[in-house]
Amino acid sequence: MGPTATALVGFATWLVLLTFALAFFRAYVGATSGKALNTFMPDGSDTPGLGRRLTRARDNCFETLPVFAAIALGAQLSGRLNVTDGLAPWVLYSRIAQSVIHIISTSVPAVLLRATMLTAQLVIYCWWAIQLL
């Protein structure tokens, strides 16, 4: 598997891991507080702190994975993986870093660092799109 496919599968796997972490967190909250598992808000607003941060980190992945997948598919279908292969691992690294920072803290420095990680991904996506079009 090449770098683009590896990064894409890694991104999807990271999303799955965050989803499991959120599910385990909610199960723990349910077991320790008596909160029914079917009453959690989808946006995590009823689990402040770690629960909310986990929810948003997972949702951020869910929101940007289609962009990466579409560009990777376009590169694959056009036989131009050379455009995406070099930076694909960096998309994955910056995505994981963004999620970890989000889970750890919502302080101003953390938010700025998280925004930097997202910006790196978006710049890479734009660079790829320009090269592929």
What whole-number distance in Å separates Cα of residue 1 and Cα of residue 9?
10
What's the pLDDT score for residue 66? Answer: 97
CB neighbour list of residue 39: distance below 8 Å, 6 or more residues apart:
46
Looking at every residue in the chain, the average pLDDT score rounds to 96
pLDDT confidence band for 6 (50 / 70 / 90)? very high
Average pLDDT of the segment spanning 19-41? 93
> Is 0.75 surpassed by the pTM of this model?
yes
Q: Where are the domains of the chain?
A: 3-132
What's the pLDDT score for residue 29? Answer: 93
Average pLDDT of the segment spanning 68-86? 98
Average pLDDT of the segment spanning 61-81? 97
What whole-number distance in Å separates Cα of residue 31 and Cα of residue 27?
6
Q: Quick check: 23 pLDDT over 90?
A: yes
Q: Quick check: 48 pLDDT over 90?
A: no
User: Higher pLDDT residue, 119 or 45?
Assistant: 119
CATH architecture of 3-132: Up-down Bundle (1.20)
Q: Quick check: 61 pLDDT over 90?
A: yes
CB neighbour list of residue 71: distance below 8 Å, 6 or more residues apart:
84, 125, 128, 129, 132
